[in-house]
């Protein structure tokens, strides 16, 4: 498989001189199997430059797997140029939202109202399919098996494991390590802690042995207490997860929009210096980088 990062920022795009090396577009990752099946993870602003590249290989069949419906993961979808062109097939996969009672179709229906966008969904010229996926129920896309995994974020969020040709990738989307809502000694603490540990082990098992783990490392260890409950991980939590799962290579992503390139490198170096034992190889996700798995 081959991975290309088209957007690695979280929350809001952040172009400018301080983000030139690692990029300012929000989340979008292209995955190609050895059979050239096209899988796209999330549709942040990075999906727009990806769409420009895809114009060279029309007609396109694009399988877009959405982790969740927050703006920085969907805001590029109306600008995905192949969606306007007859002969293309766009499949948008995502979770069922128990609050709205809808699946991934709602992502486009809401964004493409005239109040927010000048072109309506019904005016799109490509063939668009919406497919609701469920945790731990694999989906086949060509030679790839994609397994959704329920993770921890303020809305329903799915991470995706992709297995193809004997290689494997896992993308967390946005994920915050579970924490106990009770204080030690309070009634309910032990029971809740047991549930947390079971969930953690389930996530570790889903990621186990992957060649590449791409994980949400928005915050530093010192920043996290003020951001607890916002639904994001830290450099330290991502390295710990990669170690526990035996991942060979970790890419830290969802870079904090106010953190410039130099600060990103410093934050990762500080987290690595705190770790003991055998670390996986750890890199910062960089917009425009392509990785052969």
CATH number at residue 123: 3.60.15.10
**Cα(97)–Cα(70) distance, integer angstroms:** 12
Q: What per-residue confidence (pLDDT) applies to 99?
A: 85
DSSP 72-130: GGTTTGGG-GGGGSTT-EEEEEE--BTTTTB-THHHHHHHTSTTT-SS-GGG--SEEEE
How do residues 231-246 score in pLDDT, each as one tens digit? Answer: 999 999 999 999 999 9
**Cα(145)–Cα(107) distance, integer angstroms:** 24
Q: What per-residue confidence (pLDDT) applies to 120?
A: 87
Model confidence at 279: pLDDT above 90: no
Q: What per-residue confidence (pLDDT) applies to 78?
A: 96
Q: Above pLDDT 70, what percent of the chain?
A: 100
Residue 148 backbone class (left: φ over 0; alpha: ψ -120 to 50; beta: rest): beta
For β-strands 28-32 and 38-41, DSSP reports them as: antiparallel
Alpha carbon distances (Å) from 85 to 104, 123, 124, 227: 21, 11, 8, 42
How do residues 71-87 score in pLDDT, each as one tens digit? Answer: 999 999 999 999 999 99
**Cα(76)–Cα(25) distance, integer angstroms:** 10
Q: How far apart are the first and last CA of the chain?
A: 5
Q: What per-residue confidence (pLDDT) applies to 143?
A: 96
Domain hosting residue 50, numbered range: 2-292
Q: What per-residue confidence (pLDDT) applies to 36?
A: 97
Average per-residue pLDDT in the chain? 96
For range 174-202, the mean pLDDT:
94
Domain total of the chain: 1
For range 103-125, the mean pLDDT:
91
Model confidence at 189, pLDDT cuts 50, 70, 90, reads very high
Model confidence at 40: pLDDT above 80: yes
**Cα(85)–Cα(99) distance, integer angstroms:** 33
Model confidence at 276: pLDDT above 90: no
Q: What per-residue confidence (pLDDT) applies to 293?
A: 96
How do residues 129-153 score in pLDDT, each as one tens digit? Answer: 999 999 999 999 999 999 999 999 9
pTM for this one? 0.97
Reported residue count of the chain is 293
Tokens 């957007």 correspond to 7
For range 44-70, the mean pLDDT:
97
Model confidence at 275, pLDDT cuts 50, 70, 90, reads confident
Query: Whose CA is closest to 212, among 178, 271, 150, 163?
Result: 163
Helix (H) or strand (E) segment spanning residue 261 = helix 261-274
């Amino acid at each position: 498989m081959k991975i290309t990062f088209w957007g690695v920022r979280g929350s809001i795009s952040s172009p400018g001189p301080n983000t030139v090396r690692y990029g300012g577009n929000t989340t979008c990752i292209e995955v190609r199997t050895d059979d050239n099946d096209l899988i796209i993870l999330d549709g942040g602003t990075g999906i727009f430059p990806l769409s420009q590249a895809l114009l060279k290989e029309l007609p396109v069949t694009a399988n877009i797997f959405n982790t969740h419906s927050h703006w920085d993961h969907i805001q590029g979808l109306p600008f995905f140029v192949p969606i306007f062109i007859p002969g293309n097939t766009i499949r948008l996969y995502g979770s069922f939202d128990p609050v709205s009672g809808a699946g991934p179709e709602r992502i486009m229906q809401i964004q493409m109202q005239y109040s927010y966008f000048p072109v309506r969904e019904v005016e799109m010229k490509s063939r668009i399919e919406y497919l609701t996926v469920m945790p731990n129920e694999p989906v086949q896309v060509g030679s790839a098996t994609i397994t959704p995994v329920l993770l921890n974020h303020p809305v329903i969020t799915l991470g995706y494991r992709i297995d193809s040709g004997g290689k494997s990738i896992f993308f967390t989307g946005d994920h915050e390590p579970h924490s106990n809502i009770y204080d030690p000694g309070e009634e309910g603490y032990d029971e809740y802690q047991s549930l947390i540990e079971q969930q953690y082990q389930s996530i570790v098992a889903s990621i186990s042995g992957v060649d590449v783990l791409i994980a949400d490392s928005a915050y530093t260890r010192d920043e996290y207490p003020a951001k607890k409950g916002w639904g994001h991980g830290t450099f330290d939590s991502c390295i710990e997860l990669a170690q526990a799962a035996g991942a060979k290579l970790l890419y830290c992503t969802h870079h904090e929009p106010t953190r410039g390139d130099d600060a990103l490198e410093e934050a990762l170096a500080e987290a690595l210096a705190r770790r003991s034992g055998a670390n996986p190889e750890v890199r910062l996700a960089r917009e425009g980088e392509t990785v052969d798995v």
